[in-house]
Amino acid sequence: MVNTKPNSQYNVAKPNSLAIRLAHRQRERMYQLFLSLCAVREDDRILDVGVTSDTVYSSSNYLEAWYLRKDRIVAAGLDDARFLEQMYPGLRFVAANGLDLPFEDQSFNVVHSSAVLEHVGSDANQLRSVTECARVARRCIFLTTPNRWFPIEFHTSLPLLHWLPKPAFRRLLSRTSLAFFADEANLNLMSTSRLRIISEAIPNWQLDVANIRLGGFVSNLILTGTRIAKD
C-alpha cells in the first residue's frame, strides 16, 4: 500500500534555501556519476527505488526528471508517486517496499536509489535493502546516502551533534522539535566503513564506495558496483 500523505516531516529546509540549492548541485553531480559509473545505455531498463511524493524541492526524484528515456524507468516506493506517470509519460510507478521488492531476480539492467538507505531503519534493514537492490539488478547498482561524518547533518541542518554516539544523538534530538529524526526507523546515518561492511556481505558483486565532496568534506557516499559474471 502506498503512503498517500506527502512525507513533509523530511522537508525541514526551505525550498530556496542555501541548503537546498547545494543539495540540488550535489545531486546533479551524483546523476552524472550514475551515468558514467554504471555506463548507462539507452536501452537499459532502470529501477529507481524510493521515489518520493515530494514536489517542493527542485531535485526530488531527479532521475525521473533528468533522464531522457522515461519509458525505460520503473519508479518504486512507499510514497504515492503515481503523479510521476502523468508528469513523465512512459514512466511506470510501482508501489513497493525497498526491503521486499516485488520484482524477479535480475529484472533490471541498473538499479538506482538516492538518499533512501538512511531511512530504512536498522543496520539489518540497510543490509536487506542493498541485498534487494542487488538481487533485482542484472548489471549495476548505484545507491547514495549522506555521509555521517559531514559536519552538517542534512536532515536537521544541525552541526556536529550527529557525530556523537548514535544513542546520545538520538536522545538529545528527541528533546527538540526535530524528534522525528531521533527514531532509528526514520534516520540511521551511514559511514564509508558501514557501506564497506555491507558490500562485503553481498555475494557475486564487485562493490565499491565512491563519494563527492562539499567544502573539502565528503558530503555524500555512493555504493556502486557490478555483478560478477559466472564462469
Residues with Cβ within 8 Å of 227's Cβ and at least 6 positions away in sequence, in order, are 106, 134, 137, 138, 139, 140, 204, 205, 206
Q: Where are the domains of the chain?
A: 14-161+186-227
| Cell triple for 167 | 544513542
Q: Tell whether the model's pLDDT for residue 140 goes beyond 50.
A: yes
The one-letter code for the residue type at 168 is: A
**92 vs 19, higher pLDDT:** 92
pLDDT at residue 6, rounded to an integer: 46
Please state, in angstroms and rounded to a whole number, the distance separating the CA atoms of residues 133 and 164. 30
pLDDT at residue 56, rounded to an integer: 85
Residues with Cβ within 8 Å of 35's Cβ and at least 6 positions away in sequence, in order, are none
Summarised one tens digit per residue, pLDDT across range 1-51 is 566 554 556 666 677 777 788 889 999 999 999 999 999 999 999 999 999
Q: Tally Cβ neighbours within 10 Å of residue 76.
A: 23
CATH for 14-161+186-227 is: 3.40.50.150
Smallest Cα–Cα separation from 65: which of 99, 102, 10, 112?
112
Please state, in angstroms and rounded to a whole number, the distance separating the CA atoms of residues 169 and 66. 36
Please state, in angstroms and rounded to a whole number, the distance separating the CA atoms of residues 69 and 43. 8
The one-letter code for the residue type at 144 is: T
Distances (CA, A) of 140 to 16, 39, 110, 208: 34, 9, 5, 12
- Report the range of poorest mean pLDDT among 13-22, 72-81, 135-144: 13-22
The one-letter code for the residue type at 145 is: T
Residues with Cβ within 8 Å of 107's Cβ and at least 6 positions away in sequence, in order, are 45, 47, 136, 138
Bridge partners of 47? 74, 111
Please state, in angstroms and rounded to a whole number, the distance separating the CA atoms of residues 184 and 105. 29
Mean pLDDT over 113-123 rounds to 97
Mean pLDDT of the chain: 94
Largest Cα separation within the chain, whole Å, is: 55
Please state, in angstroms and rounded to a whole number, the distance separating the CA atoms of residues 181 and 186. 6
Residue 45: burial class (beta carbons within 10 Å; 0-12, 13-18, 19+): middle
Percent of the chain with pLDDT strictly greater than 90? 85
Contact 188, 219 (CB under 8 A): no
pLDDT at residue 13, rounded to an integer: 65
Summarised one tens digit per residue, pLDDT across range 156-194 is 999 999 999 999 999 999 999 999 999 999 999 999 999
